Amino acid sequence: MADYGYVRVSTLEQKECRQLVAMNEFGVPDGNVYLDKQSGKDFNRPAYKLLLKKLKPADTLFIKSIDRLGRNYVEILEQWRIITKELGAAVVVIDIPLLDTRQKDRDLTGTFIADLVLQILSYVAQTEREFIRQRQSDGIAAAKARGVRFGRVPMARPEAYTELNYAWARGEISARSAAKLLGITHKTFLSWVREC
């Protein structure tokens, strides 16, 4: 019987401190905490996959909240089933004490309520992911409408570009030679030529 923790943040910039503190408070050993810095849209995450291989019957998996497990309604329910039924491990959702499968003495009503809460929270997690994606898309569209440009700043063309472009167009120099003289890649030179 071992305790494990699963921690997930969506991006490399986000901090996992709150979740790690919660794992510590519940006595999960540091070496048993698995961390992914990746979207919750699916369960194709390296640390999560390793964790599933470690879980044995009678082990307990702690997660801070259901959306840290994932944000896909159907897949959350499927992973919950795999962990609790196939692997025989317990799951404790720290923020929702009702979602603690260690409680073996639940009657049918208690189990029904816990399953219902799990389904509702899984639905909310997926809906929030969809809202985030829509807000992001709206924000990008609004920024583009204001003239904001995304991506890398285009490389400035060296002074010698125009002269070498004319030489290339007249067949006096190859594109590779022109690119080499400009200190750029062959692909960049050809891209600049197409833009003109």
* pLDDT of the residue at 181: 92
Please report which residue ranges of 89-148 form alpha helices under DSSP H. Answer: 108-145
* pLDDT of the residue at 184: 92
With residue 62 as reference, give the H or E element that holds it.
strand 60-63
10: annotated active-site residue: yes
The count of residues in the chain is: 196
Reply yes or no on domain 3-140 having CATH 3.40.50.1390: yes
How many Cα atoms within 13 Å fall on the side-chain side of residue 39? Answer: 9
* pLDDT of the residue at 196: 63
* pLDDT of the residue at 107: 60
* pLDDT of the residue at 109: 61
* pLDDT of the residue at 123: 77
* pLDDT of the residue at 19: 94
Do 96 and 117 meet the contact criterion of CB atoms below 8 Å apart?
yes
Whether the pTM exceeds 0.85: the reply is: no
* pLDDT of the residue at 35: 95
User: Which of 10, 39, 65, 177 is the catalytic position?
Assistant: 10
pLDDT in tens, the chain (196 residues): 899 999 999 888 888 999 999 999 999 999 999 999 988 888 899 999 999 999 999 899 999 988 888 878 788 888 888 998 889 899 999 988 877 888 765 566 656 677 777 777 777 777 877 887 888 888 888 888 888 888 877 788 888 998 999 999 899 999 999 999 999 999 999 988 888 6
